[in-house]
Amino acid sequence: MVSEPREAQVTDRVQPGHFYGAGLPYVGLEHYPGKIIAIEGTDGVGRSTQIRLLREWLEVQGYGVIETGWTRSVLMQPTIDMAKASNTLNKLTFVLLYATDFADRLEEEIIPALKAGFIVLADRYIFTALARARVRGVDRAWLRNLYGFAIAPHLVFYLKLDVDALIKRVLQSGGMDFWESGMDLKLGDDIYESFRTYQAKLLREYNSLGEEFGFRTLDARQSVDRIQKNLRNQIGAFLGANERPASG
Amino acid sequence: MKAATKAGKKKNLLTPTTFSLLHATDFADRLLYKIIPPLKAGMIVLADRYTYTAFARDVARGVDRQWVRDLYGFAARPDLALYFRVPIETSLERLLARRVKLKFYEAGMDMGWSRDVNESFRMFQGKVLDEYDRLVEEFGLEVIDATGGIPDQQRRVRKLVARELERTNG
């Protein structure tokens, strides 16, 4: 095996339910019964639809479910919205704002839910933030340390779409916006070209994150039903295996 | 940025980690707009508190020591760092003499160690001072005895600053 030692270190996967790094020393993580299931992917891949369907399915089976989504924290959402609107923050402060939002949701929503044995459906976990930051040239080792307080999810599904399919979906729905087009990177004045270049870079980062963190990749061009069926199969198998105590 | 920190503090909404991250965000903003440009222009930046405040305060709150150091890995290392040291009783006396109402987070009330604000301040700031002692060693902070008179302190500060300027300009 010829691989760079740094890469090898990065590929050492953290056990689900454990902290990625330094963690939250003042919070004990003693085998919480809950599970974190994350759905990742760029805009327009149908994450929220899939999560809504998963929630119904899980609740019918008697699971307690909470949803958590990017920049939805009580603490940070107004600030992040304002920062986006005014377009004044640089990449570093943006990365830190997102991390603060995540930390707030982790401690106030996710950890209490895990303690209570809930399934946490995360509409994007830390990976989208990592992908966006990496595309913007933020140091990888620094980012990993920053998110060292995060808990590794039990399952991460990545709804993958190629740039061509993604562009059509985004244009059919809301259209291209400033941030999703990476206009802050000043790749060019043409929003279409900027979107294309930026999203292609993002997809490359998702792929590399997928290898690092063990994403389960699903083809997002498939129908909603087909994707949902696949998700349910995999989640069902995972939850079933966890409910039965290992024998022998 | 200030708005979120203020709102969070007002509602006592912050955990040790969000407290730490919000201050780091605010610091990043100040660093990029207020500190780095004057440095590039060859000016002297006088910073009333720098990353060391965060290292001491956030670790006293329970965040990981190495994590918070790495978090501030983007910061420029100061050429000279002065630490004005006073015993807790002195700082408490000074604050109370000025009839300053101790702030919730400053007194570490979020830690829930004591309901008495003065007692909480003593406990929390005690931990903060322990961390500062560690920083003096680790980062070579210059300690100024701040129990003495201001002219004495200022004399020492000027001497240290003059020496530093001589070293870098000479």
Distances (CA, A) of A86 to A78, A100, A175: 12, 19, 20
End-to-end CA distance of chain B: 40
Question: What pLDDT, on the 0 to 100 scale, is given for residue A114?
Answer: 96
Across the interface, whether the CB atoms of B64 and A23 are under 8 A apart is answered yes
Chain-chain contact of B29 with A89 (C-beta, under 8 angstroms): yes
Q: Average pLDDT, stretch B11-32?
A: 90
Mutate to test the interface with B, among A29, A71, A75, A143 (most CBs of B within 10 A): A75
- For residue B81, count CB atoms less than 10 angstroms from its CB and return exposed for 0-12, middle for 13-18, buried for 19 or more: middle
Flag if B25 and A76 touch (Cβ within 8 Å): no
Q: How far apart, in whole angstroms, are the C-alpha atoms of residue B91 and residue B97?
A: 10
Q: Using the predicted structure, report yes or no on whether residue B26 has a pLDDT greater than 60.
A: yes
For the domain made up of A20-229, give the CATH fold: Rossmann fold (3.40.50)
Residues of chain A with pLDDT > 90: what percent? 64
Banded model confidence at residue A170, pLDDT cuts 50, 70, 90: confident
**For A156-160, what is the mean pLDDT?**
97
- Given a cut of 60, whether residue A149 has pLDDT beyond it is yes
- Shortest distance between the Cα of A101 and any Cα of chain B, in A, equals 8
Query: Among A28-42, A101-115, A165-179, which is the least confidently predicted range?
Result: A165-179
Compute CA distances B38 → A89, B24, B41, B115, whole Å: 19, 20, 5, 44
Cα A216-A220-A221 angle, rounded to 5 deg = 145
Q: DSSP strand E in chain A: where?
A: 35-40, 65-69, 119-123, 155-160, 216-219
Binning pLDDT at 50, 70 and 90, where does residue A245 land?
Answer: very low
Helices (H) and strands (E) in chain A, counts: 10, 5
Question: Is the pLDDT at A129 greater than 80, yes or no?
Answer: yes
pLDDT band at A2 (very low <50, low <70, confident <90, very high): very low
Interface test with A, best of B10, B14, B64 (most A CBs within 10 A): B64
Query: A119 by DSSP, 3-state: which?
Result: strand
Contacts of A147 in chain B (CB under 8 A): none
Q: Over 80: is that where the pLDDT of A30 sits?
A: no
Please provide the DSSP assignment of B43-97 as one string: PPP--SS-HHHHHHHHHHTT--HHHHHHHGGGSPPPS--EEEE--HHHHHHHHHH
The stretch B58-76 carries a mean pLDDT of 96
The per-residue pLDDT for A3 is 41
Cβ atoms of residues A178 and A87 within 8 Å: yes
Instruction: Average the pLDDT over A96-114 and give the result.
Output: 95
Q: Which of A25, A82, A107 sits opposite B15 (nearest CB)?
A: A107
Q: Please name the helix (run of DSSP H) or strand (run of DSSP E) that holds residue B144, with its range, or none.
A: strand B142-145
Closest CA relative to residue B46, chosen from B137, B164, B166: B164
Q: Can you give the pLDDT at residue B1?
A: 60
- Per-residue pLDDT band at A31 (split at 50, 70, 90): confident
B10 touches chain A (CB under 8 A): no
pLDDT tier for residue B95 given thresholds of 50, 70 and 90:
confident
* Cβ within 8 Å, pair B15-A99: no
Residue of A nearest to B62 (CA): A26
Q: Is the pLDDT of residue A187 over 90?
A: no
Q: Please say if the pLDDT value at position B142 is more than 80.
A: yes
In this predicted structure, the answer to whether residue A8 has a pLDDT above a threshold of 80 is no
Sheet order of strands, A35-40 included:
A65-69, A119-123, A35-40, A155-160, A216-219
Percent of chain A with pLDDT over 70: 88
Residues in A touching B23 (Cβ below 8 Å): none
pLDDT tier at A16 (50, 70, 90 boundaries)? Answer: very high
* Confidence at residue B168, expressed as pLDDT on a 0 to 100 scale: 84
User: d(Cα A107, Cα A103) in Å, to the nearest integer?
Assistant: 6
Would an 8 Å CB–CB cutoff place B73 in contact with chain A? yes
What range does the domain containing B33 cover? Answer: 2-169
At B169, is the pLDDT very low, low, confident or very high (cuts 50, 70, 90)? Answer: confident
**3-state DSSP call for residue B121?**
helix
Poorest-pLDDT segment among A142-156, A181-195, B80-94: A181-195
Number of neighbouring beta carbons within 10 Å of residue A73: 24
Q: Which CATH number fits the domain that encloses residue B120?
A: 3.40.50.300
Q: Quick one: pLDDT at residue B4?
A: 63
Partner residue opposite A26 with nearest CB, options B7, B16, B73: B16
pTM: 0.86
Largest CA distance in chain A: 63
Q: What is the average pLDDT value for chain A, to the nearest integer?
A: 87
Contact A76, A86 (CB under 8 A): no
Count Cβ–Cβ pairs < 8 Å, chain A vs chain B. Answer: 81
A79 contacts on B by Cβ (under 8 Å): 1, 3-4
Q: Can you tell me the ipTM of this complex? A: 0.83
A100/B14 CB distance under 8 A: no
- Write A177-185 long-range contacts (CB < 8 A, 24+): A178/A87, A179/A84, A180/A43, A182/A135, A184/A87, A184/A91, A184/A136, A185/A135, A185/A136
The average pLDDT across B24-32 equals 92
Rounded mean pLDDT, A205-215: 95
With a cut of 80, say whether residue B15 has pLDDT above it.
yes
The per-residue pLDDT for A246 is 42
- Of A186, A51, A57, A71, the residue nearest A128 (C-alpha): A71
Mark yes or no for CB contact A79/B66 under 8 Å: no
DSSP B115: S
Judged by average pLDDT, the poorest of A9-13, A97-101, B40-44, B94-98 is A9-13
pLDDT at A247 over 70: no
What is the maximum span of chain B, computed from C-alpha positions, in angstroms? 54
If you measure CA to CA, which chain A residue comes closest to B28?
A93
Cβ density class A211-226: b for 16+ within 10 Å, e for less = ebbebeebebeeeeee
Chain A residues near residue B73 by CB distance under 8 angstroms: 139, 142, 145
Say what the pLDDT of residue B7 is.
64
* 3-state SS assignment for residue A194: helix
Q: Which residue has the higher pLDDT, B6 or B154?
A: B154
Give Cα separations from A3 to A8, A10, A154, A210, A215 (angstroms): 7, 12, 27, 18, 21
Q: Does position A67 have pLDDT exceeding 70, yes or no?
A: yes
Shortest Cα distance from A112 to chain B (angstroms)?
A: 14
Alpha helices in A43-87 (DSSP H): 47-60, 77-86
The pLDDT value given to residue B9: 66
Total structural domains within chain B: 1
Does residue A127 contact residue A167 with C-beta atoms inside 8 Å? no
**Residues of A at the B interface (Cβ-Cβ below 8 Å)?**
21-26, 74-76, 78-79, 82-83, 89-90, 92-93, 96-97, 99-100, 103-104, 107-108, 139, 142, 145-146, 148-149
